[in-house]
Amino acid sequence: MASVKTMMTIRATAMKAIGGHPHRFYSITGRPTFLGLMPKSSGHSPPSYRRRPRPSSTISTGTRTRSPGPSTLRNNTVVEIPPVEMKANDVCVKMLAAPINPSDINRIEGVYPVRPPVPAVGGYEGVGEVHSVGSAVKDLSPGDRVIPSPPSFGTWQTYIVQDQNVWHKINKDSPMEYAATITVNPLTALRMLEDFTTLNSGDSIVQNGATSIVGQCVIQIAKFRGIHSINILRDRPGSDEAREMLKKLGADEVFTESQLEVKNVKGLLTNIPEPSLGFNCVGGNSASLVLKFLRQGGTMVTYGGMSKKPVTVSTSSFIFKDGAGSVRQISHSFGQGTWKTRKPT
């Protein structure tokens, strides 16, 4: 295998829960080793490995989760994955970069509803370079830049062998951090804006979790389409800087949760119509703030629960938010794992 310059390696710093820092993005290049979600006891040293020839197979090291549940964080181990023989339709991809999303952490903890059987390698999206192809592969060649589409488990490893249908070729000019993260968050934002109600230029939406990647994508897509966005932030240090950042992305209104502790939140809006669509990724009281902004018959889409608290809905929202005497639809829930094959109803 030709050596390449190592751009960045992940050490045992992927999560605060295991004594490190929460990296959002990392690159994997160079030697066939993955330094990822290692237990505290292993420190920051790389696992031992031996170079092996790869004429018709690939071998990699990765972090395998051995059992679901909260104790999983203590049970992670770095293991060497056995060689995988290349079949005629297979493509071997050298992973270059992959993000760490909250859902990845939840899968490792064993609390995310959609997860692979264990033991498993983490990671759900990323970008890689074709290393070798099977004899029947015609549309991909070594050196091509590819992403898994639809997303698939196991992107936190140095080499992946999958059927050619798993890989989607992309332009090499695409920035690596964009290519590695295009599959989950931007598409989530796009689908939520398109699939639940018809939005036209001049309409508005409201969302909490506005500084999340999904939230930022919602703001930018909405701005491009002439749709106003009302955004809710948590009260915390740096909220003023976050507000300015969101404004530069195209946000029309940005409020902290404490600013919305008023009887009539809609009175805070200036020249913006009542939103017909709201997005909730926080839960708890923050979800009720989204509901307060919605017009009668509006729809709130719940796609996350970062506060780990139940969605709170006031009695008045159930009774008075719709002319017929009830909220037409309080919440849609969705998981992209099933959404990629069917449209929510």
Residues 6+ apart with CB under 8 A from 315: none
Which ranges of 124-207 does DSSP label H, i.e. alpha helix? Answer: 176-181, 185-195
Which residues are marked as active site?
112
Enumerate the β-bridge partners of residue 64.
77, 121
Cα 182 from Cα 247, distance rounded (Å)? 22
Contact between 259 and 181 (Cβ < 8 Å)? no
Residue ranges of alpha helices (H) inside the chain are 72-75, 102-109, 176-181, 185-195, 213-224, 239-249, 284-293, 315-320, 336-339
CA atoms within 13 A on the CB side of 15: 20
Q: Which two tokens stand for residue 305?
A: 């629960």
- Give the count of beta carbons closer than 10 Å to the beta carbon of residue 176: 16
Q: How far is CA 199 from the centre of its chain?
A: 24
3-state SS string over 279-331? Answer: EECCEHHHHHHHHHHCCCCCEEEECCCCCCEEECCCHHHHHHCCCCCCCCEEE
Are residues 141 and 164 in contact, defined by beta-carbon separation less than 8 angstroms?
Answer: no
* Cα(57)–Cα(277) distance, integer angstroms: 50
Closest C-alpha among 199, 246, 250 to residue 220: 250
Question: For residues 218 and 251, what is the distance between their CA atoms, to the nearest angstrom?
Answer: 9
